[in-house]
């Protein structure tokens, strides 16, 4: 190499180092120092932490747009082998919603595989149901989401960033609640964490991702770190709060821990039978908010298709309940389709716009290309309304319960550039009809009714009725065919029976947003018992 070329190469090397140094690395270095120093962090081989978690779900609220529902209180013990990138968490989760119950289970997450021993959800997969004792591999979606959150909350995240300066870039100050935080982006695979630093202490204050939420569209998801304590020479945030668009949805309190304690290797082992053929972490469009928050209420279906179990079925499917009446089943959440003279009425838009796209396609081919002109949303919960945009995008009118129209207007006005299933567009012009008591869609051939009923599940909840088929449709207050009826009416079932009576309708059967279809008379007969 000629001398001039050599000097040029050397100077380019220095320039790139200098550029890299300007590119946010001083913030990372300062934070690492504040956490105990680069050498201390580099020497962390194992991390054991125990504590409690409380969680709230904003989109399972009683009132649309109202106070978040308290979902769960958990105790956990977590151990991490830093070099192996493996973590085990033993959980005891006490759920308050949708029904009180406790799940005790273990998660083991390695770079390649996620494993769950025990029952962690009411939405059990075929694999979990067939395993003795119950166990299953995590879907690629859950594995990717869990790995992201373990990285975000890791005691050694800053050391990982220190070792990978090429994946760190400054993003300028980010202002939260009037305070400016210097910040950097850190890329790990196709995930980006934005780390906001406290100007005074240099410690990481917030770790942010930009997610998609099926109700609120583009959302900000922050882990807020506070109450720093020193555990075996390493600073650890002992309060960790997740904020979704500024609202607290989860709060972890670390009660104690140990750095570099002995960890038995078999603690982190995944049985061979569950490692073979296990899904790899999903890349690209992971519906993080769905995967994470369905676990808050213990109903997550751990599958790589968010709305059905890929180990049990390959698709959703239609079941004909009456002429021109199709129940969309095969997944965890159902839609009812009713054919009119030149339009189709749909009840509920569950899970995602991906789910809705399937339903809209199936309706089109089943009903000779007739458009779905009306979407009746029984209630505002994220699992039954999260696919509303696909219907709005093709011009459907929303039929919703009293007191909820403003909520849906705000939802439809929210940007959704990160929606993997539907391109961004302006949905603010969507027509919304609010039902105070009763709404009838009629075309001279067929009527479809919606009735608002008082109930303990969600304010403004609607039930559907197709008079010529004497078929009702209910979501969450009754799951027809999902199991035997109780001996006595519970408050939700009593609300349905009272609502049917008040409406003056005479259903012989009900189809459900969950479950399947069942005769109504046995339910009505429980009244007064
Ligand atoms: Zn609900």
* CA of 24 relative to ligand 1 center, distance in Å: 45
Report the separation in Å between the CA atom of 122 and the middle of ligand 1, taken as the mean of its atom positions. Answer: 15
pLDDT-based confidence at residue 24 (cuts at 50, 70, 90)? confident
CA of 321 to the centre of ligand 1 (A): 23
Q: What is the distance in A from the centroid of ligand 1 to the CA of 384? A: 7
Spatial neighbors of 472 by CB under 8 A, at least 6 apart, are: 463, 464, 465, 500, 505, 507, 509, 510, 511, 520
516 vs 347: CA distance, rounded Å: 14
For residue 331, how far is its CA from the centre of ligand 1 (angstroms)? Answer: 16
Instruction: Report the pLDDT value the prediction gives residue 23, as an integer from 0 to 100.
Output: 63
pLDDT tens readout for residues 288-339: 999 999 999 999 999 999 999 999 999 999 999 999 999 999 999 999 999 9
For residue 206, report the distance from its CA to the centre of ligand 1, in Å. 32
Q: What is the pTM (predicted TM-score) of this model?
A: 0.94
Mean pLDDT to the nearest integer, 496-500: 98
Contacts of 485 (CB under 8 A, 6+ apart): 493, 522, 523, 526
Q: 253 alpha carbon to ligand 1 midpoint, in Å?
A: 29
How far apart are the CA of 224 and the centre of ligand 1, in A?
29
Residue 423's contacts (CB-CB under 8 Å, 6 or more residues apart) are: none
Please give the distance, rounded to the nearest whole angstrom, from the Cα atom of residue 382 to the centre of ligand 1.
8
Residue 18: pLDDT band (50, 70, 90) is very low
pLDDT at position 265 is 82
Mean pLDDT of 276-284: 94
20-34 mean pLDDT: 83
Q: Give the span between the Cα atoms of 328 and 316, in whole angstroms.
A: 7
Residue 5 Cα to ligand 1 midpoint, Å, equals 69
**Dihedral angle computed from the Cα positions of residues 260, 266, 268 and 269, in that order, rounded to the nearest 10 degrees:** 160
- Compute the CA torsion angle 383, 385, 387, 391 (nearest 10 deg): 160
Cα 378 to ligand 1 centre (Å): 9
Put the strands of the sheet holding 372-376 in their side by side order. 317-322, 325-329, 335-339, 344-347, 372-376, 397-401, 432-435
Mean pLDDT of 7-14: 47
Which residue is associated with the tokens 């890349």? 283
- The Å distance, Cα 202 to ligand 1 centre, comes to 43
Tell me the pLDDT band of 12, cut-offs 50, 70 and 90: very low
In terms of Cα–Cα distance, which of 57, 52, 151, 36 is closest to 458?
Answer: 57
Strand-pairing partners, residue 99, are none
| Residue 34 token pair | 């504040």
pLDDT averaged over the chain? 95
Instruction: Kindly write down the DSSP assignment for every residue of 316-375, as one continuous string.
Output: -EEEEEETTEEEEESSSS-EEEEE-SS-EEEE---S-HHHHHHHHHHHHHHTTT--EEEE
Residues around ion ligand 1, judged by CB within 5 A, are: 381, 476
pLDDT bucket at 529, cuts 50 / 70 / 90: confident
pLDDT score of 528: 84
Q: Which of 297, 304, 329 is nearest to 127 (CA)?
A: 304
Q: How far is the CA of 461 from the centre of ligand 1 (A)?
A: 9
Supply 49's token pair.
């932490």
The rounded Å distance from CA 335 to ligand 1 centre is: 14
d(CA 477, CA 347): 15
Could you tell me the pLDDT band of residue 136, with boundaries at 50, 70 and 90? very high
How confident is the model over 454-470, as a mean pLDDT? 98
**Separation of CA 64 and ligand 1 centre (Å):** 11
pLDDT at 112: 97
Write the CB contacts of 16 (distance below 8 Å, at least 6 apart in sequence): none
Across the beta sheet with 509-512, the strand order is: 438-442, 447-452, 462-466, 471-474, 509-512, 517-519
Average pLDDT over residues 180-200: 97
pLDDT at 13 (0 to 100) = 46
Mean pLDDT of 433-440: 98
Q: pLDDT confidence of 430, banded at 50, 70, 90?
A: very high
Question: Per DSSP, what are the bridge partners of residue 322?
Answer: 325
Encode pLDDT of 385-422 as tens digits.
999 999 999 999 999 999 999 999 999 999 999 999 99
Helix (H) or strand (E) holding 7: helix 3-22
């Amino acid at each position: 190499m000629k001398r001039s070329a050599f000097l040029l190469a050397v100077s380019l090397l220095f320039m790139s180092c200098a550029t890299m140094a300007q590119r946010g690395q001083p913030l990372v270095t300062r934070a690492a120092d504040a956490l105990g120093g680069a050498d201390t962090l580099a020497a962390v081989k194992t991390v054991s932490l125990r504590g409690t978690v409380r969680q709230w779900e904003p989109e399972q609220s009683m009132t649309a747009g109202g106070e978040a529902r308290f979902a769960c209180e958990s105790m956990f013990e977590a151990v991490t082998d830093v070099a192996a990138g493996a973590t085990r968490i033993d959980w005891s989760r006490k759920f308050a919603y949708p029904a009180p119950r406790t799940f005790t289970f273990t998660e083991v997450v390695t770079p390649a595989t996620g494993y769950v021993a025990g029952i962690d959800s009411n939405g059990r997969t075929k694999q979990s149901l067939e395993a003795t004792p119950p166990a299953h591999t995590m879907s690629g979606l859950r594995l990717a989401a869990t790995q992201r959150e373990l990285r975000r909350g890791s005691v050694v995240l800053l050391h990982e960033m220190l070792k990978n300066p090429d994946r760190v870039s400054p993003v300028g100050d980010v202002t939260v609640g009037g305070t400016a935080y210097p910040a950097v982006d850190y890329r790990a695979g196709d995930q980006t964490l934005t780390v906001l630093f406290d100007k005074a202490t240099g410690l990481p204050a917030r770790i942010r991702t930009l997610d998609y939420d099926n109700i609120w569209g583009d959302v900000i998801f922050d882990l807020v770190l506070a109450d720093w304590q020193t555990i075996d020479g390493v600073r650890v945030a002992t309060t960790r709060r997740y904020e979704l668009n500024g609202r607290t949805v989860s709060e972890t309190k670390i009660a104690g821990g140990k750095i570099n304690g002995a960890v038995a290797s078999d603690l982190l082992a995944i049985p061979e039978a569950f490692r073979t053929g296990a899904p790899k972490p999903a890349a690209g469009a992971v519906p993080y908010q769905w995967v994470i928050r369905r676990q808050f209420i213990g109903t997550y279906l751990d599958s790589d298709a968010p709305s059905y179990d890929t180990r049990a079925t390959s698709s959703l499917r239609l079941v004909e309940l009456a002429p021109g009446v199709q129940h969309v089943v095969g997944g965890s959440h159902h839609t009812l389709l009713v054919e009119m003279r030149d339009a189709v009425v749909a009840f509920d838009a569950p899970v995602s716009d991906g789910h809705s796209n399937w339903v809209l396609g199936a309706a089109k081919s089943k009903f000779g290309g007739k458009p779905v002109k009306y979407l009746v949303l029984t209630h505002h919960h994220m699992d039954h309304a999260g696919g509303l945009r696909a219907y709005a995008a093709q011009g459907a009118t929303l039929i919703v319960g009293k007191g909820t129209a403003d909520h849906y207007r705000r939802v439809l006005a929210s940007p959704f550039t990160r929606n993997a299933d539907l391109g961004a567009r302006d949905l603010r012009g969507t027509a919304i009809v609010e039902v105070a008591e009763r709404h009838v869609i009629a075309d001279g051939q067929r009527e479809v009714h919606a009735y608002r009923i008082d109930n303990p599940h969600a304010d403004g909840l609607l039930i559907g009725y197709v008079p010529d088929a004497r078929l009702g449709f209910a979501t969450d207050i009754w799951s027809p065919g999902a199991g035997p009826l109780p001996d006595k009416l519970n408050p939700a079932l009593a609300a349905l029976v009272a609502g049917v009576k008040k409406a003056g309708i005479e259903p012989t059967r009900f189809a459900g947003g969950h479950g399947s279809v069942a005769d109504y008379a046995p339910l009505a007969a429980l009244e007064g018992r």
